[in-house]
Amino acid sequence: MCGIAGLALSDPSAHPDEALLARMTDSIAHRGPDDRTLHCVGPFGLGFRRLSIIDPAGGRQPLFNEERDVVVIMNGELYNFRELREELVAKGHRFRTGSDAEVLVHLYEEHGEALVDRLVGMYAFALLDVRAGKNRIVLARDRLGIKPLYWTFGPEGLAFGSEAKVVLEAGMTPRELRPEALLDYLVQGYTGGANSAWSGVQRLPPSGVLVFEPAAGRPPRVERTWDLPTDALRPAATDEEILDLFDTVVSDRLVADVPLGAFLSGGVDSTAVVTSMKHVSGAAPIVCSVGFDERSHDELDVARRTAERLGAVHHTAVLRADPALALETLPWHFDEPLADPSTVPTYLVSKMAREHVTVALSGDGGDETFAGYRRYVHDAAENRLRARVGPLGRALARAIGPRYPKLDWAPRFLRGRTFLTNVGDDPARAYFRSVTRIDRGDALALLHPDVVQRLGAHDPFDAFAEHYRRPAIDDPLYRAQYADFHTYLPDQILAKVDRASMAVSLEARVPILDHRFVERFAPLPASEKIHGGRGKHAFRRALRSRVPGDVLDATKRGFDTPLAAWIRGPLAAPVASAIEELPKDWFRVDALRAAYDEHRAGRRDHGRLLWSLLVLEAWRVRHAVRGLEA
């Protein structure tokens, strides 16, 4: 787990500025505090910050082939590197280190860009091929987008890095916000897709491969090399099949030459991971659990029982989820605005775990793979009702829904506006509403008229709908999961986990997001995922032989933060200040003030919107954003 940076100049006879490359590399020193290296050859420059995990003594990067004309730097881990290494040695390749990343240069010699098809892991790497007649750079990102990779291209050439701040440091792009990103952020709470929030800064998509050849005189070529199944659902799985593959992906992630442990909450996924660690290794796992004194509920007692049952080495702490982190520490590490308040506890959990381990396994991905979110259950119910009431019933719901009072503060059973609107709406639009914060129209009403005019017909829904409708499978649940795997998961969940953990130099591994596991179980029939009004049916069923009922049958709990209390308490003044300080040519300040007053008076719940504004202003100031893209 490390950080990478680099330059590839358009002029094949030019040479990178090493001082600039050093600044780019050092901007992500937190990702790799153990070492820094720079490597320049021809028009290419590579920068590397190392967090030593495998072969700490000998695995210093960059790594080379035998002739030293194929070079690689990598952020992440390859879990099948031992098998690949044996295969490559049998073909005559010679290795100099025990590093997992060294297999990349030799695998590239055998397969070229198609080497990514052979990899199991989480990674973002840059590979130089300076052999005679080649002179190219290849960038690649893992299939699910666990590890990030940003890039930009202009007349000077290509700049790239593990975080957007690396690319910004290269000076090839203005420090400006895209107008479309502003609307996307208000609606979704994050900016997603190939375009980052920054003008001119791109994200290499999950499973993306970028190839740039300076002498060719053309821009980089980008392709996606993998996708979830889109042709048909997969057959139901036996409990044995689920557990066997689960143990395989967990076992693969237990390789490390530094202390390794896991996050343990009281939830199904983290409990399953820790239980599997004990099952496959026979050793007592190291686990880290936290409670938060602001929470109305706490899972620490459940985690303690699980740790005792497994004989785990258990580190615990009760922490205060300090919202000031969102104003001070986190804006630097989150190069793009991310309005998920759980960034605060995720950072605190990572910081606590880093006191005991360098690598921590996480349960992220279980909800997307086995449809564990409550919104999947609600969406399935809406789809069933939509089918039963027919066109006339849908038209009636469509007419009544928008006229039904919002009742934000009422009990859930009285809040029927969204449900009626969804039943009458297109299934893609209805599900999109469940993963957004406010409607496009409400967001536009907050923006300055000049910004609204510039946005034109831009609608965040369009990118989401493209993913939702891509599978040729008549299954709304799988369509929703598929869309989440391409939007919400990489751009919000995995971005949050990566930035929060790497901010404290902790490697987080996510076994449930092994592509082999996801390929097999995400496309299960809906009956294998939702049963009796609950998600994750097949996974819970398989775990019955290992995990007690007080975990499997408990009500699902998110990683909560006391957002409403924060905004009425310690964040009241900062929110009010942010509203006044946000650029007047971005927003209608009167509309922001009205939302703040309504929230404070208890007439409407604008908590998530106000938090979004606070995070946006903290990010804008910390990164010296100069304005909207010209």
Task: Tell me the catalytic residues.
Answer: 2
Q: Which two tokens stand for residue 360?
A: 């921590």
CB 615 within 8 A of CB 437: no
CB-based contacts of 430: which residues, under 8 Å, 6+ apart? 379, 382, 421, 422, 423
CA–CA separation, 236 and 116 (whole Å): 29
Query: SS3 for 221?
Result: strand
Report, in this order, helix, strand and coil percent for the chain, each rounded to 5.
45, 15, 40
Which has the closest alpha carbon to 276: 288, 290, 265, 262?
Answer: 262
The single-letter code of the amino acid at 166 is: V
CB 129 within 8 A of CB 147: no
Q: Which two tokens stand for residue 494?
A: 């995995």
CA 411 from chain centre, in angstroms, equals 32
Q: What is the 3-state secondary structure (H, E, C) of 158-173?
A: EEEECCHHHHHHCCCC
CA–CA separation, 236 and 239 (whole Å): 10
Which has the closest alpha carbon to 368: 541, 510, 264?
Answer: 510
Query: SS3 for 468?
Result: helix
Which has the closest alpha carbon to 330: 24, 623, 21?
Answer: 623
Q: What does each C-alpha distance from 601 to 492, 588, 597 come to in angstroms?
A: 31, 20, 6
Which has the closest alpha carbon to 121: 102, 137, 100?
Answer: 100
CA–CA separation, 285 and 269 (whole Å): 16
Q: Evaluate the omega torsion of the peptide bond into residue 33 and state whether it is cis, within 30 degrees of 0.
A: no
Q: What are phi and psi of 122, to 5 degrees?
A: -120, 130
CA–CA separation, 290 and 495 (whole Å): 21
